[in-house]
Each structure stands twice: as structure tokens, then as C-alpha cells.
Amino acid sequence: MKIGVVGLPGCGKSTVFGALTGMPVETGYAAGSGKANLGVVKVPDPRVDALARLYTPKKTTYAEVTFTDLANPGGAAGSADRGGLDRATLNAMRDVDALCQVLRGFPDAAGAAPDPLGEMAELETETILADLEIVEQRVARLRKDRSDPRELALQERIQAHLESEQPLRSMTLSEAEEKSITGYAFLTRKPLLLVLNVPEEGIGEAAPDDVQQAADERGLGLVVLSAQIEMDIAQMEAEDQNEFLESLGLEEPASHRFIRAAYGLLDLIAMLTAGPDECRAWAVRRDTPAPAAAGKIHSDIERGFIRAEVIRWDDLVAEGSEAKCRDAGKLRVEGKDYVVQDGDVVHFRFNV
């Protein structure tokens, strides 16, 4: 899964990126202009840990999330020169599975008060305009060559929706329509997670009502964190980390909360595989049938799918082995219509 971190210059994108990845980053308005940071985070999963204790496998592999800290648009943008998504940033945004907009919740270096709702509206407008540009070109082309009246009707509906200043997230599309537009990678159709970046004093507090309400109305996820301090924590040794979190009254680093929110937003669940070679978590969309889930591992397994042998992870840990689960009736044999559930340990049988 790839998540692009976006937002106005100075809102704290690079700092949030540092907090999520634990990687050292340059912060400040001018820092990293024109260059994006890329980082990979392992998704913490106690179920994988429990399976690894059982099998002591050669390899333990967690699901991964890739973060891109999308550079501020060209040049050294200062607070007087806000906004304006350039081409490169727009293209990078099209390339991710989900967007995370950072909203500045602290007074900036010049003392300007935070305006999270304004920032939210600004990015919304800019991404609506970017999508509109694409759909206008497509509509013009479809009108000219008259090749596909159904596609034209759909694109015109999309255009009307955007012209009414609504992101495409709020548009109802059939499964077939949804599929037919994936190639356009519309920015306002991508899942969006908001991060309100608050000052240290606001740590552990809920979001202000107006911000929470704006997120709820749009059906967006919202995570409140204090990026500066979370970045410092993320770069500490594990031991110091826990002590420091405790002293702040926090149960876990912000990256864990963020990843859970992102999983929820993208409707992802963990499918597990376990054995002496490897214990591993795979991120799959909820409601994925067994063969498609098998395809995450290898396309050959999807193609030659025969059946899935499924054990709940906690049954496997409690019984201690696959054989014991079989004897205890805790191993189920499932066919191609089975929908993989969060926490299923799956063993696929397939033809080669």
C-alpha cells in the first residue's frame, strides 16, 4: 500500500513523514523542495509475532506501507507563497493508493494562526480542478469521435459532479463504472486521511469540533498528532521510546494509530501465512474471495487454485500445530467462494 503525504507548504508534511517512518528528514519551508522522501513502514501485528513464536521461522514478514512525502511545489515556497500544486506533485499523487493531508494545527514561524478548515478546502478545490481538467479532455474527445455514448454519459456525470465543487468521493458509481474509471486515477476519488498536526500542548486531545465535523461530513478519517514530538520519539531507541511515550501519557507511537486508521479507511485486513520457512501478514481488501487473495502471494496460486485450508490464528496458537487443529476440527477446507477474514491463517492448495 502506498500513501502520499500532501498539504500546504509548512503544514508539517516532512515532520509527519519523519514521525511515521522514523527516518531522518529535513524540515522547514524550503527543505526538500522538488524532491520527495520515500519510506517503508512495517505494519505492527501481534498475530504475526505469536505465529513466529510458534514456528520460529527463518523469516518473519510484516505487511508494509510505503509513505511518500510529496515535495512542496517548485522552489522555496514561503508562507507568503502558499498552495498551487505543480504537475510533478499532481502526477505523484495519482500514483498512490491513498492520500494523507496534513493540516497545520500550530502557529507557523511567522505566528500565523492555524486554519485547518481553510487548508482542507484549498486542497479540495485544487484536486477538483485537476480532476476536472482530465475529465474535460476526455469528454471533448468522446464527443468528437462519438465512439462510446455510455462512457460519454458517465464522464459527463463526473464532470457535472466536479463542476458542482464536489469531490468524486461523494459520487455513487456502480462497480462497473468504478472499474471503468480506475485508469484516470482521479485524485478526489482516492481515499483521504486527514492528519491534524497539533502543538505539543495539544497532545492526547481530541480534534476541535469543527474539524471533526468537516471530516465526518466528508466521510474522511482524521488522526490528531503532534508531529514534532512524534518525530523525535520515532528516532529514539525502542527502550527510550516506551519510557518517553509513557511520560507523555501516550500508549503507543502515532505511527501505529495512523496505520490502523489507514487500514480502516482502505478497508484492509490481514491474511496470515505460517510455517517453518516464513510467518507473514498480507494486506488484502475486505471481501476478497480466496483465489484473489491467493493471487497476492503468487499469480500461479490464483490460477491453479484448488482450495484453501483455513485456521483462525488464535486457534493455531492455542492448539500448537496445524495437525492438532485438524484433529480438533479447527481446520476448515474452503472453496473458491470463501471470503478471507481478518486473522485467517491460510494454506492454499493449487495445481501448477
Chain positions contacting ligand GDP, by CB under 6 A:
7, 9-15, 27-29, 31, 72, 106, 197, 199, 226-228
- From the list Mg ion, ligand GDP, none, pick the one residue 7 interacts with, judged by a Cβ distance below 5 to 8 Å according to partner type: ligand GDP
Q: In what order do the strands lie in the sheet with 221-225?
A: 37-42, 64-69, 2-6, 98-104, 192-197, 221-225
Q: In angstroms, give the least distance from the CB of 110 to Mg ion.
A: 17
Q: Does 14 bind Mg ion (CB under 5 A)?
A: yes
Question: In terms of CB distance, is 73 or 291 closer to Mg ion?
Answer: 73
- From the list Mg ion, ligand GDP, none, pick the one residue 273 interacts with, judged by a Cβ distance below 5 to 8 Å according to partner type: none
Report the amino acid identity of residue 196.
L
HEC readout, 287-333: CCEHHHHHHHHCHHHHHCEEEEEEEEHHHHHHHCCHHHHHHCCCCEE
Q: In angstroms, give the least distance from the CB of 120 to Mg ion.
A: 19
Helix axes 227-234, 13-21, angle to 10 degrees: 30
Question: In terms of CB distance, is 31 or 98 closer to Mg ion?
Answer: 31
- From the list ligand GDP, Mg ion, none, pick the one residue 15 interacts with, judged by a Cβ distance below 5 to 8 Å according to partner type: ligand GDP
3-state secondary structure of 275: coil
Q: In angstroms, give the least distance from the CB of 27 to ligand GDP.
A: 3
- 189 closest CA partner among 156, 160, 162, 215: 162
Cβ atoms of 176 and 154 closer than 8 Å? no
Q: In angstroms, give the least distance from the CB of 274 to ligand GDP.
A: 39
- From the list ligand GDP, Mg ion, none, pick the one residue 60 interacts with, judged by a Cβ distance below 5 to 8 Å according to partner type: none
Question: In terms of CB distance, is 33 or 166 closer to ligand GDP?
Answer: 33
Question: In terms of CB distance, is 81 or 240 closer to ligand GDP?
Answer: 81
Question: In terms of CB distance, is 9 or 295 closer to ligand GDP?
Answer: 9
CB atoms near residue 323 (< 10 Å) = 10
- From the list Mg ion, ligand GDP, none, pick the one residue 228 interacts with, judged by a Cβ distance below 5 to 8 Å according to partner type: ligand GDP
d(CA 329, CA 323): 10
Report the amino acid identity of residue 109.
A
174: CB partners within 8 A, 6+ apart: none
Q: Does 89 bind Mg ion (CB under 5 A)?
A: no
Site of interaction with Mg ion (CB under 5 A): 13-14, 32
